[in-house]
Amino acid sequence: MNAPAKQQEFATSVPAGVFAETVTEVQHYTDHLFRFRMTRPESFRFRSGEFAMIGLVVDGKPIYRAYSVASPAWDEELEFFSIKVADGPLTSHLQKIKPGDTVLMRKKPTGTLVLDALTPGKRLYMFSTGTGIAPFASLIRDPETYEKFDEVILTHTCREVAELQYGFDLIEGIRNHEFLSEIVGDKLRHYATVTREDYPFRGRITDLISSGKMFDDLGLPPFDPAVDRGMICGSAAMLKDTKALLETAGLTEGANSKPGEFVIERAFVD
C-alpha cells in the first residue's frame, strides 16, 4: 500500500486530540525550502506566533514535528514554512505532499513567541534565520501587533538570496492586501541579509548588531530597554548569540507566565 492510501486509512480512524486536514497549496522555493497551506478546523484556535505538532503517517505510524503556524489567527486556512531534509524522518515525506493529501495536526498549539509574553514597548524587533521567519509571518499579519507597537522590524538572515524569497513574498502580500496594508501602513520594516552570497546586505544579524551596521542601515538608535522589545527564532546557536546581545543591552527574557522584554524559540524541524 502506498503512503497516501495509508494516510487516508489513518484519517478515517484519527485518534482523539488529532486533526486530519487537507493540503490546499504547496510552493517550493529552493531544494531546501517549501511552504504549504491546509484546511483549518473550525475549533482550532491559536495565538499568532504559536506552534503546532504537524505529522504524517509513515509506514503505518504517525510522525510529528513542531511547526510554527505561519498564517495569522484570522486566516481561514493554515500555512507552514518548512525545510526539506533528504533523510529527515518527517520532512523527507512532507516535502512530497500535494493538494488533496492529508496532513495531521495535534489539537493543542503552544509557544512563547506571543505578544502576551512581552511587556509594553514601542518598537518590536523580530530576529529570524532560515525557517525561523515562520512565527513572524503570522505575527506581522496580525493587526494586534500594530495596536501594541509603533514600529515592527523583521530581520531575516539566510545563507543564500533565494532563501529570502518567502519573506519578500510575505511583505508584498501585506502591501497588496486591501485591509492589512492600511493597518500596517509604514510601521513594518523588513531587513533581509545573506551570509554566503553577494548581496547589498551581508552578514549574520549578530555581527550586524554588534558592529552597529543594522542600526545605521535602519536609521535607528541602539537597543533601549525602555522602548525596544525582541522576539528571536532560529537555530540554537543563533538564539544564544542574539539573546546575549539583547541581555548586554539590558533587556530581560520573558515568558507566558512572566512577560519580559524579549522572548525566544528554536526553529524546530530537523
Nearer to ligand A2P, 71 or 206 (CB): 206
> Which residues from 144-163 bind ligand A2P, rule CB under 6 A?
157-159
The residue ranges of DSSP E strands in the chain, in sequence order, are 18-28, 33-39, 51-58, 61-68, 77-83, 102-106, 123-129, 151-158, 188-194, 228-234, 262-266
Residue type, 40: R
Smallest distance, ligand A2P to C-beta of residue 26, A:
22
Which grid coordinates are listed for 111? 509557544
In the complex with ligand A2P, which residue's Cβ is closer, 28 or 61? 28
Q: With binding defined as CB under 6 A, does residue 266 bind ligand A2P?
A: no
Rule CB under 6 A: choose which of 27, 30, 110, 235 binds ligand A2P.
235
Q: How far is CA 91 from CA 61, 98, 116, in A?
A: 15, 14, 31
- 211-227 core/surface letters (b: 16 or more CB in 10 A; e: else): eeebeeeeebeebeeee
Q: Does position 270 bind ligand A2P by CB under 6 A?
A: no
- Count how many residues are written for the chain: 270
Q: Which is nearer to ligand A2P, 47 or 156 (CB)?
A: 156
Among 115, 208, 238, 263, binds ligand A2P (CB under 6 A): 238
The answer to whether the CB of 205 falls within 8 A of the CB of 215 is no
Classified as helix, coil or strand, 177 is: coil
Quick count: other Cβ atoms within 10 Å of Cβ 229?
28
Residue 21 vs 241, nearer CB to ligand A2P? 241
Residues 114 to 143 in contact with ligand A2P, rule: CB under 6 A:
129-130
Q: Which CB, 145 or 157, lies closer to ligand A2P?
A: 157
Q: Which is nearer to ligand A2P, 10 or 127 (CB)?
A: 127
Q: Which stretch binds ligand A2P (CB under 6 A): 55-63, 143-151, 198-206, 210-218?
A: 198-206
Determine if 30 is a binding residue for ligand A2P (CB under 6 A): no
Q: CB of 208: closest distance to ligand A2P in angstroms?
A: 9
User: Closest approach of Cβ 204 to ligand A2P, in Å?
Assistant: 4
Distance, in Å, from the CA atom of 203 to the CA atom of 208, rounded to the nearest integer, reads 7
Exactly one of 55, 124, 206, 223 binds ligand A2P (CB under 6 A); that residue is: 206
Query: What is the Cα–Cα distance from 125 to 228, expressed in whole angstroms?
Result: 7
Q: Distance between CA atoms of 67 and 69, rounded to whole angstroms?
A: 6
Residues of the shown chain interacting with ligand A2P in the complex, contacts defined by CB under 6 A: 129-130, 157-159, 195-196, 204-206, 235, 237-238, 241
